[in-house]
């Protein structure tokens, strides 16, 4: 069963997809793609690494599939894989796994020195209230 965060995300994304779908026949695929990437994709990417469980992933995947169908004007009965490939979209599960692996890599103490040298600790230019709580 999807949790409340996923339900809220899917609800907001569905509202945007519904509105984009209403005007789809008046705009070209490039503009539709831009609208989906502006309104729907950020919702799917929001905290995707924290979402676990097949119910959660499945709900988000359905939103992504619907967005791809709107962009390409594909019928719901058509298989989704050939629709996602030309858009160069990864499945939600794949994106979540890659994000988790990247986070695991940077949480380890033994990541390569050349990467550690690129990371700088943030030093504020003035004193902050949050420093007093340390």
The percentage of residues in the chain with a pLDDT greater than 70, rounded to a whole number, is: 84
Q: What is the mean pLDDT of the chain?
A: 84
Instruction: Quickly tell me which residue has 């949790």 as its tokens.
Output: 3
pLDDT tens for residues 83-104? 999 999 988 888 887 777 777 7
CA angle 41, 47, 50 (to 5 degrees): 135
The pTM score is: 0.73
**In the chain, what is the straight-line distance between the N-terminal and C-terminal CA atoms, in Å?**
39
Cβ–Cβ < 8 Å for 52, 60 = no
In angstroms and rounded to an integer, the radius of gyration of the C-alpha atoms of the chain is 19
Q: Between 32 and 51, name the one with better pLDDT.
A: 32
pLDDT, residue 134, reads: 57
Q: How confident is the model at residue 114 (pLDDT cuts 50, 70, 90)?
A: confident
pLDDT tens for residues 52-76? 655 688 888 999 999 999 999 999 8
SS3 assignment for 48-101: HHHCCCHHHHHHHHHHHHHHHHHHHCCCCCCCCHHHHHHHCCCCHHHHHHHHHH
The contacts of residue 113 (CB under 8 Å, 6+ apart) are none
Residue 14 has pLDDT above 90, yes or no: yes
Domain limits of the chain?
4-120
pLDDT, residue 57, reads: 85
Cβ–Cβ < 8 Å for 25, 6 = no
pLDDT, residue 94, reads: 84
């Amino acid at each position: 069963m999807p949790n409340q965060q996923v339900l809220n995300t899917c609800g907001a994304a569905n509202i945007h997809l519904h509105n984009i779908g209403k005007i789809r026949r008046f705009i070209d695929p490039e503009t539709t793609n831009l609208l989906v990437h502006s309104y729907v994709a950020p919702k799917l990417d929001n905290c995707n690494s924290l979402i676990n469980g097949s119910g959660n992933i499945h709900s988000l995947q359905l939103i992504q599939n619907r967005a791809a169908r709107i962009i390409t004007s594909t019928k719901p009965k058509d298989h989704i894989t050939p629709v996602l490939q030309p858009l160069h979209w990864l499945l939600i599960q794949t994106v979540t796994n890659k994000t988790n692996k990247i986070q695991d890599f940077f949480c380890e103490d033994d990541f390569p020195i050349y990467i550690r040298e690129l990371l700088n600790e943030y030093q504020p230019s003035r004193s902050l209230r949050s420093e007093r709580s340390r």
